[in-house]
Amino acid sequence: MDAFEAILTRRSIRKFKDESVDWDKVGDILEAGLAAPSAGNLQNWKFIVVQDEEKRKAIAEACLEQYWMQNAAIHIVIVSEVQKARQFYGVRGERLYAVQNCAAAAENMLIAAHSLGLGACWVGSFDEDKVRKICRVPDYVRAEAVLAIGIPNETVPPPNKYRLHDMVHLESWESKIKDPLWIMKEHAWSVENKLKRQAKKVDKKMSTLAEKTHSILDRFRSKKK
């Protein structure tokens, strides 16, 4: 699955199978978080991986009693070392940049989890003091988000989204696209090319599969002779 497909097909998953998640995949998800951009490359985030069942139950309780979370195999608590952002950027760094940096890391991890065949959900509603106590987070560090990750046990339909024309302004506020049909034609052309590339990948896989099948049949026939 390419990056664009992963972005468009990602969903918030809240139902999980009672199965563990391969640690290699957890590592890949964390690497994706580390690859996120941050103001001044501060990387003010830290990731606390929680697998223990009792701790997951406690975190679900701390997340305003969202008990579905305890069924996720892994929780990743994203925390922010706000003093780093404050040191370089003052109040704006503490209140905005530190949060934005962790949000970028969270989104990277969600997309990575989906691309690996896992389900994940970003949880932002929680009692910070309770999460701090459960994960032994020091006072100078803030919990920014909790990601619940596991083997998905539901298929979530695409949510309703605004049209691109409704959400995009050109050059300034309320300055709309003059010719939306032309823009949509360009977008359609881009989508068409993307579908053609995907079709080529499928053809290549089918060709490889056919070659393997013929090879197996040839070996079988030779043995019968």
Six token digits for residue 140: 């100078």
| Residue 191, pLDDT above cutoff 60 | no
d(CA 118, CA 13): 9
The answer to whether the beta carbons of residues 48 and 135 sit under 8 Å apart is yes
Give bridge partners of residue 46 from the DSSP assignment.
79
Q: CB within 8 A of 68, min separation 6: which ones?
A: 14, 15, 60, 148
Higher pLDDT, 104 or 210: 104
d(CA 205, CA 191): 21
d(CA 120, CA 151): 9
pLDDT computed for residue 96 by the predictor? 97
pTM over 0.85: no
Question: What number is the average pLDDT over the span 124-152?
Answer: 97
pLDDT computed for residue 174 by the predictor? 82
Question: Would you place residue 212 in the very low, low, confident or very high pLDDT band (cuts 50, 70, 90)?
Answer: confident
d(CA 11, CA 157): 8
Of the listed ranges 31-35, 110-114, 182-186, 208-212, the one predicted with least confidence: 182-186
Ordered by where they begin, the domains of the chain are 13-150 (3.40.109.10), 161-225 (no CATH)
| Residue 79, pLDDT above cutoff 60 | yes
Question: What number is the average pLDDT over the span 43-53?
Answer: 97
Tens digits of residue pLDDT in 59-72: 999 999 999 999 99
Six token digits for residue 163: 């049209």
Length of the chain: 225
